[in-house]
Structure 1
Amino acid sequence: MFKPGGLEHGGRLRAASLNYGIALADWLDLSTGIAPYGWPLPAIPASAWARLPEQQDGLEVAARDYYGVSNLLPVAGSQAAIQALPRLLRNARVGIVSPAYAEHAAAWQREGHRLLELSEGGIERALERLDVLLLVNPNNPTGRRIEPQRLLQWRARLAERGGWLIVDEAFIDCTPEHSLAGFSDRPGLIVLRSFGKFFGLAGIRLGFVLAQPAVLEWLAELLGPWTVSGPSRVVATALLQDYVGQRLQRERLLADGERLATLLSVQGLPPTGGCALFQFCCTPSAAELHEFLAAQGILTRLFTSPLSLRFGLPADEAGWQRLQLGLEAFAMECQ
């Protein structure tokens, strides 16, 4: 269960640089599940910097078309919604499918809710006792995906008692057929979507909440106006309308996800799970491998429960070769 204090995240490259004495430019950062490449960005007009953001600029329309929904709310990264949603309820019994992105549990516990850490197999037995069921799909860090029909059955049971099913779909853009976005108009369902991971623009700090209008209105009132900057809105609108670019990005990420799984398997690290943006490996040597690769300027994400590593995608061929050589060197050292 979550304990107070700073939470670790991937992408802490500056801290790794200081810790290992390796310059920032010399790292291969595989510690996140963010696409390591994107496509050309649109020009940003001066007015986007000079004026307060306005909702009539086309972002909401483009996002509704992209997700296939009627109602959504742009937020400053899905992290903003993760921290705000627990403030809409009081004294809720919240089941969180674990392991999962730790910020979810932290946010609900911070607001005084009662948390129950669940395995996927324990959901059915616990559901009648819950006000909220929260899960990440595909899961972070395991990559485990639960089928939509099963999720919708849980939603229906929760909604009968006024409960919520919250599904964080930060990593689902490469497999949109598994998304619950198209069902987000149903009572008791809240879907969180990340913009930065698939589009390779984590620094833009943009996400979307898909839910019934009443929930979105409560959340918008809590978050206040102008949560997404004008320049971010310009860039996101253009990319959400670029269907050709999205198709190419999806194809490349899916191919690279398979390539990463194959590379790890060949090196004796068959993934326990994963998705297009990362692969997850449970191995007793996770800590040693993490340290070995970091000493060579290759940053992965280490987890202790379960003991495992998560590998993101290299951005280019040089990165792929560097990862392969690092894994081969570790295998040689362990012989």
Structure 2
Amino acid sequence: MILGELSPASLNPLKDKLPEHGGNLPAAAKAYNIPLSEWVDLSTGINPEPYPVPAIPAQAFNALPYLQDDFIEAVQGYYQQANFLAVAGTQTAIQVLPEVFNQNQSLPVLLPSIGYQEHKQQWLRYGSVIQLYRSDTAANMSHDIQQALQANPDQHLVVINPNNPSTVQVGLPQLLQWSSMLGRHAHMIVDEAFIDISPEGSLLSLPQSAENMLPQNMLPQNIVVLRSFGKFFGLAGIRLGFVFSSPNILKQIQQALGIWQVNGPAQFIATQALNDTPWQTAAKQNIQKNTQYTEQTLNPLMATFKVSPPLRHALFLSYPMSLTTALFIYNDLAKHGILTRVVGLDNERALLRVGSIDHLNMHATARLHDACEQLRLSAIGLRILE
């Protein structure tokens, strides 16, 4: 790579200061001295066209937040499952699952090498023995998990499906096979935070009993499914997620978390959104358009850097490249108020994850186009080649 004035050493301080998670606009605003209101945030996989929040009745703020009947019905209708636990974001469940599953017997856990790192951090925090499997391709993932479970079925398994940021997704038969290989006290946790665009790939789409409605959960007893509300509906700030599993497991998670997990306003907003099928249908179409537009805007820049085509999810694009190139692009776009996300794979390789932009937001799209074009011309001038 011909870098001119650019070198890995010059970018090391930037690498050390990368945020743990996407969406940290306050930190970016301070680091680059750009006012918070002037940023275009493409560092998450959150729908850039959020569900329009309706007027919230005062009762939702005044009353203690016991789960309302209409909220329960909306959740059961949308996810087609009777047994669930509503939580203040699936992160809260991720934090207690190691404790819940190791109360009686401590087991090791299989985790993806690439993926939402809070899973790994929480199991390590609990002191669990972890083993990583490759999650860069479906073939590598299947090979590693199959071998690990054959060697030792007495371990928990965490699967992010589809994977963020590698976009790898495995089918339901494969997931069910892995769950059947687990030992008596082992569990499979499937994080489906990004599956709403293609819900047919969800474990919650398995055939239900009693005319498709809901007297019992048909998931195998050793499976836990996590679903995020904020990604697809674009409302991450209300902190809402759902856990689906057997009644016994849900009870243990609830006891670990405590009462009143979901506030009244969040319940009210979610009830409207989960019941609004016309909005959901339109949102899926708009999300595809947004990501197509984002990729088209980035294509000339990525071609200049000779970057491979992106790994595609409906809500984000992950571009494989060297860590040095990823840091350089991230840093330059940030100087223009465009926030992306660098996910390091090792000391040399990375993914630059770019969330989709609202293609109808003329101000934001113009900013992205101009920033990419300035960087492209600058790279040509510096003879920066991947």
TM-score, with structure 2 as normaliser: 0.81
Matched residue type, 1:288: F
Return closer, same or farther for 1:163/1:95 CA change in 2, 3 Å cut-off.
same
Q: Deviations over 1:259-301 (max 9, x none)?
A: 3234333432444313111100011211110111011111100
> Are residues 1:272 and 2:310 paired?
yes
- Report the counterpart of residue 286 of structure 1 in structure 2: 326
Equivalent positions of 1:100-179 (< 5 A) are: 100-119=115-134, 120=141, 121-128=143-150, 129=152, 130-158=154-182, 161-179=184-202
SS at match of 2:123: helix
Moved more, 251-260 or 278-287: 251-260
Q: Deviations over 1:98-153 (max 9, x none)?
A: 21111000111111111111111311110132421102111111112112221111
> Are residues 1:319 and 2:357 paired?
no
SS at match of 2:114: coil
**8 Å Cα contact 1:273/1:280 also seen in 2:** yes
**8 Å Cα contact 1:82/1:107 also seen in 2:** yes
Equivalent positions of 1:191-210 (< 5 A) are: 191-210=225-244
- Report the counterpart of residue 260 of structure 2 in structure 1: 226
Moved more, 308-317 or 231-240: 308-317
Runs ≥4 in structure 1, deviation > 6 angstroms?
none
> Are residues 1:60 and 2:103 paired?
no
Matched residue type, 1:225: I
> In structure 2, what is the Cα distance between the partners aligned to 1:39 and 1:214?
33
> In structure 2, what is the Cα distance between the partners aligned to 1:29 and 1:216?
35
> In structure 2, what is the Cα distance between the partners aligned to 1:289 and 1:7?
16
After TM superposition, give the deviation of residue 329 of structure 1 in Å.
Answer: 1.9
Matched residue type, 1:161: R
Return closer, same or farther for 1:106/1:186 CA change in 2, 3 Å cut-off.
same
> In structure 2, what is the Cα distance between the partners aligned to 1:321 and 1:26?
13
Matched residue type, 1:26: E
> In structure 1, what is the Cα distance between the partners aligned to 2:31 and 2:280?
37
Matched residue type, 1:131: Q
**8 Å Cα contact 1:100/1:135 also seen in 2:** no
> In structure 2, what is the Cα distance between the partners aligned to 1:258 and 1:162?
44
> In structure 2, what is the Cα distance between the partners aligned to 1:155 and 1:149?
10
Return closer, same or farther for 1:258/1:161 CA change in 2, 3 Å cut-off.
farther
- Report the counterpart of residue 39 of structure 2 in structure 1: 27
- Report the counterpart of residue 110 of structure 2 in structure 1: 95
**8 Å Cα contact 1:27/1:299 also seen in 2:** yes
**8 Å Cα contact 1:264/1:271 also seen in 2:** no
After TM superposition, give the deviation of residue 331 of structure 1 in Å.
Answer: 1.9
SS at match of 1:96: strand
- Report the counterpart of residue 11 of structure 2 in structure 1: none
**8 Å Cα contact 2:111/2:130 also seen in 1:** yes
> In structure 2, what is the Cα distance between the partners aligned to 1:196 and 1:111?
27
CA RMSD of aligned residues (A): 1.7
After TM superposition, give the deviation of residue 28 of structure 1 in Å.
Answer: 0.9
Return closer, same or farther for 1:262/1:150 CA change in 2, 3 Å cut-off.
farther
Moved more, 6-15 or 65-74: 6-15
> Are residues 1:329 and 2:382 paired?
no
Moved more, 262-271 or 67-76: 262-271
The match for 1:297 among 337, 340, 355 is 337
- Runs of 5+ unmatched residues, structure 2: 1-17, 135-140, 207-217, 381-386
> In structure 1, what is the Cα distance between the partners aligned to 2:219 and 2:132?
27
Percent identical: 39
- Runs of 5+ unmatched residues, structure 1: 1-5
SS at match of 1:192: strand
After TM superposition, give the deviation of residue 185 of structure 1 in Å.
Answer: 2.3
**8 Å Cα contact 2:300/2:376 also seen in 1:** no
Larger radius of gyration: 2
